Amino acid sequence: MAEPEFTATGVRIDKRLRSLTRAGQVRISDGRVELLTSYGSEIDSAPVQAVRASKPWFAPDDRALADLNGQRYVLTLGEHDPAPGHAGPPAARRFIEAVRRAAGRGD
């Protein structure tokens, strides 16, 4: 199994107005985007080419939208990347860039 291209823990994952987890995981590995609960159970996953990641218009910098399998998820990651050696989720911007890079849509 290859090293994940992107991993974030402590991520709040919402679907519409419903919170699915407040300490979930987002992982891009082996050409798939996976949304996991804090216990490691899969919420949803899809091939990275089928995932659309974007920034909501009127939302704080720590939020990202992810469309997987026709479902829209709101991911609340960190506003800023954590300092080296400190725990915390990476910035939402890094997630969006990682999805685009893994799908071959960006530089």
Residue bearing tokens 């991993």: 7
Q: Whole-model pTM? A: 0.85
Instruction: Break the chain into its structural domains and give their ranges.
Output: 6-104
Q: Is 100 helix (H, G, I), strand (E, B) or coil?
A: helix
Reported as a single tens digit per residue, the pLDDT across 22-46 is 999 999 999 999 999 999 999 999 9
Rounded to 10 degrees, what is the CA torsion of 15, 64, 107, 34?
A: -40
**Which CATH class, in words, describes the domain spanning 6-104?**
mainly beta
Reported as a single tens digit per residue, the pLDDT across 53-103 is 999 888 878 899 999 999 999 999 876 666 676 666 678 889 999 999 998
Structure confidence at residue 4 as a pLDDT band (50, 70, 90): confident
